[in-house]
Structure 1
Amino acid sequence: MSEPAVLLDVSESGVATLTLNRPDRKNGLNKQMVDETIVALESVWADDRCRGLVMTGAGTSFCSGMDLSEKILPDEMTFMRRVGHLCSLIHDLPLPVIAKVRGGAVGYGANLALCADLVAAADDAVFGEIFAERGLSIDGGGSWLVPRLVGLGRAKEIMFLAARVSGAEAGEMGLVNRAVPAAELDALVDKWADRLADGPRRALSVIKQQLNASFERSFADAIEAEAVGQALSFRSKESREGARAFFEKRSPDFRSC
């Protein structure tokens, strides 16, 4: 039997870690990896223990993009729609998702990382939007994600010129949330993941949904969505625990909810 292309672990604290596991190919994407990642994400979605997700890559790279040494199966359109479904699962997952990026995040791999809600990168990581250099157009949600992160003009510069952006540069331009020395990356992601896992699971899910829809809504629609969300939140166990913790001058225990 072949090695699993994806590893999934759920800690006692409810942090799920999804590891792309083809280190000999710098975690290049093939059909096996796509299929196994979709199964893993669906598993996280259905598992009530999970309170957050960390995505990372085994070995020295996050993901080197499509593994062009393998045939695209069963055909280009079917494969790319499966890839798109994978990205949508990350984007729509009702849990916070953190991408932990070290080494190369190239082509599809760059945009896979950007599908996460928070991206932490080593300052010497490399984000390579190299599609034009390969005679390809954009995939992995990059045409939607990158303009929203850095603006349309900068996005065109990055995509047209097949730019390679260091983790440090990505942090400065807002392509990623934080870039830190490689030795500090694990500690930063652990801190974020633990904080989110201890947070209000339902409220964080609604906040993620609202922010993801923000560019498609009018201000009036956003105000109405906030009213609906907050009206439901005020009636939740999380809200009651948050209020009790405030008056009792202690940290809220949202896990008890």
Structure 2
Amino acid sequence: MSATPQDILVHTEAGVTTITLNRVDKKNSLTRAMYATLADTLAQAEADASVRAVLLQGDITVFSAGNDIGDFLAQPPAEQDAPVFRFLHAIAAFPKPLVAAVCGPAVGIGTTMLFHCDLVYAGDNAAFSMPFVNLGLCPEAASSLLAPRLLGYHRAAEALLLGEPFMAEAAMEVGLVNRVVPPTECNAIAQAQARKLAAKPLSSLIETKRLMKKGMLEPVLERMAEEGASFGRMLREPAAREAFTAFMEKRRPDFSAH
């Protein structure tokens, strides 16, 4: 299974594989097929010795609105080999440098995938949010582990329990973002940084990243599995059904009975 060619663009040049989310008319919301393509592309980039860095980017107006709700509800991820879980495992375990360029909204997995990137550059229009609770769900991508570690517990609680957006400057202040730049320059700056990495010895890049992340992969994958089990259970419960029904009906959800 793969996404339609225009949904995700993949280009490799000068040692950098650039993955562009290109479903702008749907705010780069991610489908099952797109997750499969992302997972396959990361696997290919890992296996290709000529690739020394990977850049993830979206449009200057939007990075990703998260899951495509219609696609997600039609085929909710159930097995651990579901495309979304393949992508999450691939990005968590990817041994080479991962760079991200983020402009506009980065919702749900649009934010949580950034915890697994090594360098993140944001347009000053970037807005990060993890609204899982608002959908009657729980965090994913090991964000329940990584957000408190990076943001500090109280800021993570604000982001995960309230689900409210935080802007690029706040993301830089807590260390989620390396630099905030004009949106029209963001992808180019991230590309330049990725090419700097690609000019360095691959063995040194891989070993340095391995040492920095030593001891983290096992708890990250363990937390992903725990989150995934809870996510799948909560997806079938009344609160999530109310949240998604309200979303489709374009009304505010009523959680008073949940």
- Same-fold status (TM-score > 0.5): yes
- What is aligned with 1:5? 7
Amino acid in the other structure paired with 2:139: I
CA RMSD, Structure 1 to Structure 2 (Å) = 2.3
Distance verdict in 2 for CA 1:215–1:8, change over 3 Å: closer
Separation (CA, whole Å) in 2 of partners of 1:58 and 1:211:
30
Identity of aligned residues (%): 32
Structure 1, gaps ≥5 residues long = 218-257
- What is aligned with 1:29? 30
Kindly provide the CA deviation profile for residues 11-64 of structure 1, in whole angstroms up to 9, marking residues without a partner as x: 1x1111011221111111111111111111111112121011100124621111
Amino acid in the other structure paired with 2:100: A
Distance verdict in 2 for CA 1:46–1:172, change over 3 Å: same
Kindly provide the CA deviation profile for residues 92-135 of structure 1, in whole angstroms up to 9, marking residues without a partner as x: 22210001101111011111233211111112201011111111
Separation (CA, whole Å) in 1 of partners of 2:114 and 2:147:
11
- What is aligned with 2:251? none
Q: Secondary structure at the match of 1:121?
A: strand
Amino acid in the other structure paired with 2:211: Q
Q: Give 1:71 shift.
A: 4.4
Q: Tell me, yes or no, if the aligned pair for 1:72 and 1:79 is still in contact at 8 Å.
A: no
- What is aligned with 2:205? 204
2:175 is the counterpart of 1:174: yes
- What is aligned with 1:186? 187
- What is aligned with 2:245? none
Kindly provide the CA deviation profile for residues 146-173 of structure 1, in whole angstroms up to 9, marking residues without a partner as x: 1221122221121111120111111112
Q: Tell me, yes or no, if the aligned pair for 1:84 and 1:141 is still in contact at 8 Å.
A: no
2:48 is the counterpart of 1:47: yes
Amino acid in the other structure paired with 2:199: D
Amino acid in the other structure paired with 1:111: T
- What is aligned with 1:143? 144
Kindly provide the CA deviation profile for residues 179-221 of structure 1, in whole angstroms up to 9, marking residues without a partner as x: 222233234213311210111211110111121125589xxxx
- Per the normalisation by structure 2, the TM-score is 0.76
- Per the normalisation by structure 1, the TM-score is 0.77
Q: Tell me, yes or no, if the aligned pair for 2:130 and 2:159 is still in contact at 8 Å.
A: yes
- What is aligned with 1:155? 156
- What is aligned with 1:251? none
- How many residues align? The count is 216
Amino acid in the other structure paired with 1:15: V
Amino acid in the other structure paired with 2:7: A
Amino acid in the other structure paired with 2:85: G
Q: Tell me, yes or no, if the aligned pair for 2:80 and 2:86 is still in contact at 8 Å.
A: no
Separation (CA, whole Å) in 2 of partners of 1:59 and 1:141:
27
Structure 2, gaps ≥5 residues long = 219-258
Separation (CA, whole Å) in 1 of partners of 2:216 and 2:153:
14
Amino acid in the other structure paired with 2:98: V
Separation (CA, whole Å) in 2 of partners of 1:76 and 1:101:
26
Separation (CA, whole Å) in 1 of partners of 2:45 and 2:204:
18
Q: Secondary structure at the match of 1:53?
A: strand
Separation (CA, whole Å) in 1 of partners of 2:163 and 2:67:
16
Amino acid in the other structure paired with 1:149: L
